[in-house]
Amino acid sequence: MALSTLLSEPVLLLDAARARHNLERMAERAAAAGVRLRPHFKTHQSHEVGRWFREVGVEEITVSSLAMAEYFAEDGWRDITLAFPFHPGMRERVEALAARVAFGIVLADAQALDGVRFSAPVDAWLKIDVGTHRTGLDPDDADGLRALAASVAGRGDVRLRGLLAHAGHSYAARGVREIAAVHEQTLSLLGRLRDELAGCGPLEISVGDTPTCSIAEAFPGAGEIRPGNFVFYDLMQWQIGACGVEDIAVAMACPVVARHPGRGELVVHGGAVHFSKDAMEFEGERIFGLAVERTSDGWGELRPDVRLVRLSQEHGIVAAPADVVVRTRPGDSLLFLPVHSCLTADAMGRYRTLAGETLGMMGRGAGGG
Amino acid sequence: MALSTLLSEPVLLLDAARARHNLERMAERAAAAGVRLRPHFKTHQSHEVGRWFREVGVEEITVSSLAMAEYFAEDGWRDITLAFPFHPGMRERVEALAARVAFGIVLADAQALDGVRFSAPVDAWLKIDVGTHRTGLDPDDADGLRALAASVAGRGDVRLRGLLAHAGHSYAARGVREIAAVHEQTLSLLGRLRDELAGCGPLEISVGDTPTCSIAEAFPGAGEIRPGNFVFYDLMQWQIGACGVEDIAVAMACPVVARHPGRGELVVHGGAVHFSKDAMEFEGERIFGLAVERTSDGWGELRPDVRLVRLSQEHGIVAAPADVVVRTRPGDSLLFLPVHSCLTADAMGRYRTLAGETLGMMGRGAGGG
């Protein structure tokens, strides 16, 4: 393993072979199911990692912010959906993007386009709330749906492309059967709404969170899927049942800075500005990461008994068995799988591959304000 | 107010007048108490904001990472304490810093210097756990304290400077009386330990979290204080009783992207990658921010009934009274005070002052790895 065991600060390790395997598998799933894979790039936010997707034939992508759209357009991506609700403050930057690439926006509010005109044509997707209750039209609100569709009708600058949903409530599922239930309900609901909007012309359906896309064999009625997290996965996806531990492609390497045998704790450099404060319940405890064994060329088995249990800005408190605390020295580094790889990557701002290469990411504070 | 009401994305507003008032007041408090103010720069991480401290006579600073030490050394700071436990992986970068500036490290483990030699002399502070139970020596562990002091004794490259503590458990205090109790206990405990180490020569005492430094009139026995958060404050400090709402100097401006009158909710652009997932309990609810009224030149009164109650990567869900939901339009921006300004600033990566100026910060992914 090219990673020095003596680090000056936390490092986000990326096992490129695992990540490439994850994306090859998802590309094959999409091909077998006959749907377009339009992966969400908010997870990795990296030109270099994005290029791995091109190698498996991906040409259309999803992003979650204007800054991210601009960052990937810069690297030659020519078909981008901004899967975040459009509002009038976005107009100028959307127009500039639509002049360069095939650009899609998402509408979650019938007044979002009030007073807005684009000089370059823009695709629009109507956002449907299939159960997450974050944004999107209530599928039972027929008047609301017609009003949302009407806000696009007859416009030359905006083309109604289809219905888009994010079944984020799949994150509350546990196991294949519960994920499958969310998946089936999502697609049957969107199919019904498409029938109700038959007068609007042919509409596509776009779905695809990582849990359902990792499990489902078919996507009846859908034209494209938009999973993102699957390129790295994380402990949350493992807990849901969307991946195995061996699929998780990122791990944080954190130097040990103090030992407290009396409390059964180690302290590492690795806090909220590295892992984010996203936590999950694990065996009745709130955790921010679980350790994995270091191997000669990366990492291997999970150590579910070595847990990140508290974080402050730079410090991570690790609950560990007595033998681990006793044999550890200041400066040793421990490896942790993150609870939420999207937020961990966003916080870290770069990757180090197991071959020792540094991969950049979109800068913090990017964008026009 | 120079801020456009039509934003394309979330913006971290900085009321420079409030921040300068906060730091002038702290400089006066330190002067009146006869202690050195060595402010913690992890809160703002900005060359520009750092220069405001110079104007009130600050010459020594505290940082929480090597990257931050390097960033501020670059801007001419010549006396820097890295208030994070030293471990052997830091050796090279500490040595390079110590060759340029007066540099202090913190020791929390008797083996932290094993095998380490510096070519440039370094100051060392012994970290004492005064009640936070994160890092530092247990004050009742007399053997441990002697071992820690012995790890520095007789070295030419490391000079024992004093005892350093962070009374982070003051964050659990509510009101002036509880904060004062933490403060008195901290200083009496450190005074006792200094007496026990009388054989080590004259030792300084360094303390100073924002709650105690905002409240205490005197710091008996201490040579310096190291508060950081006070430059901006936040809802957590307000809840503790360390500041008034009117002292909070940063607010997030977030465009509204969707409205859900049936649920009494708005959705804004402003999620975990902007606010961080640090939350606090407020009137029995877990919140990530509270709204403030927009005024002609910034912001004013708190709207405790308009609350950020859920965050995902980019979205914030706002619980709001019916009248607020009804009169809001997509693209309107709402202003929120953050729960934890240090993490919000770290996530955002830059500030916009009320005069419309953009202030930069240390880059994401800074540092040498």
CB contact under 8 A, A11 and B369: yes
Closest-CA distance of chain B to residue A168, Å:
10
Give the gap in angstroms from C-alpha A337 to the nearest C-alpha of chain B. Answer: 18
Chain segment A171-192, per-residue pLDDT in tens: 888 899 999 999 999 999 999 9
Domain ranges of chain A: 16-231, 244-360
* Residues of chain B contacting A310 with CB distance shorter than 8 Å: 134
Which of residues 103 through 162 in chain B touch A, CB cutoff 8 A? 108-109, 111-112, 114, 133-136, 138
B4: distance to nearest CA of chain A, Å?
10
Q: Is the pLDDT of residue A1 over 70?
A: no
Cβ distance B343 to A277 less than 8 Å, yes or no, reads yes
- Torsion sign across C-alpha atoms B40, B43, B46, B49: negative
CB contact under 8 A, A315 and B135: yes
Q: What is the pLDDT of residues B139-173, one digit of tens each?
A: 999 999 999 999 999 999 999 999 999 998 888 88
Report pLDDT digits (tens) over B275-317.
999 999 999 999 999 999 999 999 999 999 999 999 999 999 9
Question: How confident is residue A4, by pLDDT bands cut at 50, 70 and 90?
Answer: low
CA nearest to A240, candidates A316, A183, A164: A183
Q: Kindly report the CATH class assigned to B16-231.
A: alpha beta
Which of A89, A343, A349 is nearest residue B7 as measured by Cβ atoms? A89
Q: Are A69 and A103 in contact (CB under 8 A)?
A: yes
- Mean pLDDT within A229-246: 97
Distance CA B338, CA B234 (A): 6
**Average pLDDT in chain B:** 95
Mean pLDDT, residues B236-248? 97
Give residue A367's pLDDT.
52
Average pLDDT over residues A79-95: 97
**Which pLDDT band holds residue A366 (cuts at 50, 70, 90)?**
low
Please give the pLDDT value at position A3.
Answer: 59
Q: Is the pLDDT of residue B132 over 70?
A: yes
Using the Cβ of B250 and the Cβ atoms of chain A, whether some distance falls under 8 Å is answered with no
Q: Which residue has the tokens 């939420």?
A: A340
Residue among B85, B350, B364 whose CB faces A257 most closely: B85
Query: What is residue B369's predicted lDDT score, i.e. its pLDDT?
Result: 42
**B45-66 confidence digits (pLDDT tens):** 999 999 999 999 999 999 999 9
pLDDT, tens digit, 9 for 90 and up, residues B162-216: 999 999 888 888 999 999 999 999 999 999 999 999 999 899 999 999 999 999 9
Q: Average pLDDT over chain A, rounded to whole?
A: 95
Question: What is the third-level CATH fold of B244-360?
Answer: Lyase, Ornithine Decarboxylase; Chain A, domain 1 (2.40.37)
User: Quick one: B83 exposed, middle or buried, by C-beta within 10 A (0-12, 13-18, 19+)?
Assistant: buried
Using the predicted structure, report yes or no on whether residue A369 has a pLDDT greater than 50.
no
B289-295 and B265-269: which strand pairing? unpaired
* Nearest Cα residue in chain B from A361: B365
Whether the pLDDT of residue B341 is over 80: the answer is yes
Stretch B14-36: mean pLDDT:
98
| Cβ partners under 8 Å of residue A233, min gap 6 | A22, A210, A242, A243, A247, A248, A249, A341
What share of chain A in percent tops pLDDT 70?
97
Residue pair A266/A324 in contact by the 8 Å Cβ criterion: yes
- Please give the share of chain A, as a percent, with pLDDT higher than 90: 92
Classify residue B365 as left (phi > 0), alpha (psi -120 to 50) or beta.
left
Contacts of A345 in chain B (CB under 8 A): none
User: Under an 8 A CB cutoff, do B369 and A352 touch?
Assistant: yes
Check B363 against A358: CB less than 8 A apart. Answer: no
Report the residue from B6, B136, B364 with minimal CB separation from A89.
B6
> Is the pLDDT score of B367 beyond 70?
no
- Contact of B314 with B327, CB cutoff 8 Å: no
Query: Which of residues 177 through 236 in chain A touch B, CB cutoff 8 A?
Result: none
